[in-house]
Amino acid sequence: MTQVKQIIYKSHPDGMPKESDFEIKTTTIDESDLKEGQLYVQLLEVSVDPYLRYRMVEVGGGFEPFKVGQVMNSIALVRVITSKSDQFKKGDIVTGWSVPWQEYSILDATGVQKIPDVDVPLSYHLHSLGMTGLTAYFGLLDICNPKQGEIVLVSAAAGAVGMLVGQIAKLKGCKVYGIAGGEKKVNFVKQLGFDDALDYKGVSNMDDAIKKLCPDGIDVYFDNVGGETLEAVMINLRNFARISLCGSITEYNNAESSKGPRRYFNLTYANAKMEGFLVARWKDQFPKAIEELAGWLKEGKIQEKIDEWKGLENIVPAFIALFTGLNVGKVVVKIAE
Amino acid sequence: MTQVKQIIYKSHPDGMPKESDFEIKTTTIDESDLKEGQLYVQLLEVSVDPYLRYRMVEVGGGFEPFKVGQVMNSIALVRVITSKSDQFKKGDIVTGWSVPWQEYSILDATGVQKIPDVDVPLSYHLHSLGMTGLTAYFGLLDICNPKQGEIVLVSAAAGAVGMLVGQIAKLKGCKVYGIAGGEKKVNFVKQLGFDDALDYKGVSNMDDAIKKLCPDGIDVYFDNVGGETLEAVMINLRNFARISLCGSITEYNNAESSKGPRRYFNLTYANAKMEGFLVARWKDQFPKAIEELAGWLKEGKIQEKIDEWKGLENIVPAFIALFTGLNVGKVVVKIAE
């Protein structure tokens, strides 16, 4: 019997998630409960992502909602302490999409995969070589098929997904513009190789700001925010433009209170499409994509940026920070070495 | 010198177009003004279409706006009276996209095409074999690629485009549902072969009504209306659904006053796309499409329905009737035999 700390989902947030919507508890776990096909694992690093907010609702749009009272979970890296599966052995580092926020857990081996054998810092497996990287890769390349010389705009450009989208678009020979909040983020994005970036803070008219940033219009918009930015994009679309829907600030509460993008009908005049995706649809192509991403990383063609927090008690603050605009790059919380 | 009647665009409508936004005038036309490369033509039949409303604005979204004081124009059929072009001869029936609403006109030969040589009533060249038919054909087949057994929903199903979309979807082996206003239209749509149809009049909750009409969800939505119907579709999308944007009641005024579709972010959860189009993009494929449509028509695989009005003075009332829900099928105004 081991005493372990865990984070419980306590209440559905009303708007912005607060620390009081979660609770740290202590529970006991008995390694001898381990059954055939299961793993006893230690939590190493936790990925916090905006999409988790979409699960913090009573009725979910497309993700399985968290139930009040359950242990929180997310994508994470764990170390196998004891294995009763012939797929994994002691010491393996594995990742899963629904790993409990709990120091030690018993997991079904079917719910985890080994991380790819690439010599990079562990946290990269939660970013460029993990779900975030795959989201950027497929959400840009498969949904938008950007071509050499096309104009690509990325919102939340300094965020975990956006920073990769912009860099991949540059690799494809596109002209890449970013939108981010604050000078620090704008500079970060430019240093990554974006052709230019807009600081949305202090912008009074988003329509004018986007037109000034992209005077020749937009072929591809990778949308991490929705709202006014998406509406401004609608009047700056080039013919046959593509919009990849990845995130929306207007949807953080729930779909009922959301506003749709005015001027969506401009998609007609521009022969343009707006397409949404869940990255799991490309599951079969993950290994090949990760291989390509790892190659780019090794050759220095894409840069990494990890915003590392420490300790189980900081998972929730790190998650909340995603919505207050504090983070640059990928937020990861390290629990153990 | 000949005295001819014409219809002048008098003012930008505020909301619904009114007869007073137009004016019938008499002008003189001199056939001897005809220059090389021009045609002197008689107006035979005029097509009135909802998209003309999008041109009745000061600043256009994607169509060239009408200017106050100009002669109105639209797609129409005319007979060549005198030709100074070697492409056309006296007696040819030709069609153009911007034919003046005027009994006789001088047109550049480059702006018109001969109608295809198919033995059908003349008005069919404004409907199933004209721009309307091409809109239905490409807007459904190219944007949505409906597959055998898929569920297709069409709004304004008894209208000129909708009635063809539904029939083409049936030809492709789809399960087809329509939405229309009033019992007469619903019966018309069912008689065309739609599997079922919803009368939106008297519907108090569109979400529930759509869910009841399409309990297994929607693979393809051909949208002629936007608004609440589009919002209801968003929560009934099947995985990999496609929405073809053809019309939007919310856009009749202008894009600024429009509301976007709430729940658009559900496109994400459904891996779905929403795509707009202007039919001109498939210009190169028009002849082949018209050949196929003409074949279906001759074999009785698609039914026609022309709502014929008569007389130049009735073009405007016929156009206005598009927005008051009076018409079933394609509205055409016959000016001369």
Test B231 with A260 for CB contact under 8 angstroms: yes
CB A18 within 8 A of CB A71: no
Model pLDDT for residues B139-177, shown as the tens digit of each residue: 999 999 999 999 999 999 999 999 999 999 999 999 999
Which residues in chain B are contacts of A61 at CB distance < 8 A? 265-266, 268-269
State how far the Cα of A16 lies from the Cα of A60, in Å rounded to an integer: 17
Residue B23 β-bridge partners: B8
Question: How many other C-beta atoms are found inside a 10 Å radius of the C-beta of residue B274?
Answer: 28
> How much is the average pLDDT of A221-236?
95
Is beta strand B237-245 parallel, antiparallel or unpaired with respect to B218-223?
Answer: parallel
Rounded to the nearest integer, the mean pLDDT of chain B is 94
CA–CA separation, A100 and A24 (whole Å): 13
Instruction: Kindly state the average pLDDT of the residues A316-322.
Output: 95
Q: Name the phi and psi angles at A186, rounded to 5.
A: -60, -45
Q: What is the pTM assigned to this prediction?
A: 0.95
pLDDT interval class at B215 (50, 70, 90): very high
Residues A51, A59 contacting (CB under 8 angstroms): no
Q: Is A49 on the interface with B (CB under 8 A)?
A: no
Cα distance between residue A234 and residue A153, in whole Å: 12
- Interchain contact, A259 vs B259, CB within 8 Å: yes
A254 touches chain B (CB under 8 A): no
**The pLDDT of residue A254:** 56
Q: Which residue of A has its CA nearest to B252?
A: A265
Residue A257 has pLDDT above 70, yes or no: no
What pLDDT, on a 0 to 100 scale, did the predictor assign at position A252?
Answer: 67
How far is it, in rounded angstroms, from Cα A57 to Cα A253? 8
For the ranges A119-123, A177-181, B20-24, B54-58, the lowest mean pLDDT is seen at: B54-58
Band of residue A63 on the pLDDT scale cut at 50, 70, 90:
confident
What local confidence, expressed as pLDDT, does residue B259 receive? Answer: 82
Which among A266, A269, A278 has the least Cβ separation from residue B269? A278
β-strands B73-83, B38-47 pairing: antiparallel
Q: What confidence score (pLDDT) does residue B35 get?
A: 96
Say whether pLDDT at A255 is over 80: no
Using alpha carbons, list the distances in angstroms from residue B95 to B37, B123, B130, B131: 16, 11, 9, 10
**Per-residue pLDDT at B330 exceeds 60:** yes
pLDDT confidence tier of residue B257, bands split at 50, 70 and 90: low
| B253, pLDDT greater than 70 | no
pLDDT at A121 over 90: yes
Total residue length of chain B: 337
Position A208 confidence tier, pLDDT thresholds 50, 70, 90: very high
User: Does B51 lie at the interface with A, CB-CB under 8 angstroms?
Assistant: no
Å between B222 CA and nearest CA of chain A: 13
Chain B residues 217-236 with CB within 8 Å of chain A: 226, 231, 234-235
Q: Which residue has the tokens 């609440």?
A: B228
Per-residue 3-state assignment (H helix, E strand, C coil) for B264-298? CCHHHHCCCEEEECCHHHHHHHHHHHHHHHHHHHH
| Per-residue model confidence (pLDDT) at position B237 | 97
Q: Within an 8 Å CB–CB cutoff, is residue B81 touching chain A?
A: no
pLDDT of residue B234: 96
Q: Reduce the DSSP state of residue A321 to 3 states and report it.
A: helix
pLDDT value at position B252? 67
DSSP letter for A58, please: S
From CA A199, how far away is CA A182, in angstroms rounded?
6
- CA–CA distance, A190 with B244 (Å, rounded to integer): 37
CB contact under 8 A, B248 and A271: no
Closest residue of chain B to A262, computed from CA coordinates: B260
Taking CA atoms, A330 is separated from A110, A309, A321, B61, in Å, by 27, 10, 11, 39
Q: What's the whole-number average pLDDT of chain A?
A: 94
Confidence of residue B255 (pLDDT cuts 50, 70, 90): low
Nearest to A255 among B62, B266, B277 (CB): B266
Average pLDDT over residues A96-104: 97
Cross-chain Cβ contact B62/A268 below 8 Å: yes
State residue B299 phi and psi, 5-degree precision. Answer: -80, 0
Q: What is the pLDDT of residue B250?
A: 67
Give the pLDDT score at B57. Answer: 86
pLDDT at A54: 87
Asked if B260's CB is within 8 angstroms of A264's CB, the reply is yes
Q: Is A283 on the interface with B (CB under 8 A)?
A: no
Burial A79-106, CB ≥16 within 10 A → b, else e: bbeebebeebeeebbbbbeebbbbbbbb
Beta-bridge partner residues of B192: none
**Residue-wise pLDDT tens digits, A5-61:** 999 999 999 888 999 999 999 999 998 889 999 999 999 999 999 989 989 988 766
Percent of chain B having pLDDT more than 70? 97
Percent of chain A exceeding pLDDT 90 equals 88
Question: What residues contact residue A51 under an 8 Å CB cut-off, 6+ apart?
Answer: A63, A247
* Whether the predicted pLDDT of A165 surpasses 70: yes
Predicted local distance difference test score (pLDDT) of residue A64: 86
At residue B74, the pLDDT reads 97
pLDDT at B296 over 70: yes
What would the mean pLDDT of A186-192 be, rounded to a whole number?
Answer: 97
**What is the rounded CA–CA span in Å between residue A237 and residue B276?**
12
For residue B61, the chain A residues in CB contact (below 8 A) are: 265-266, 268-269
For residue A246, which residues of chain B lie inside 8 Å, CB to CB?
268
Q: Which of A62, A259, A267 sits opposite B268 (nearest CB)?
A: A62
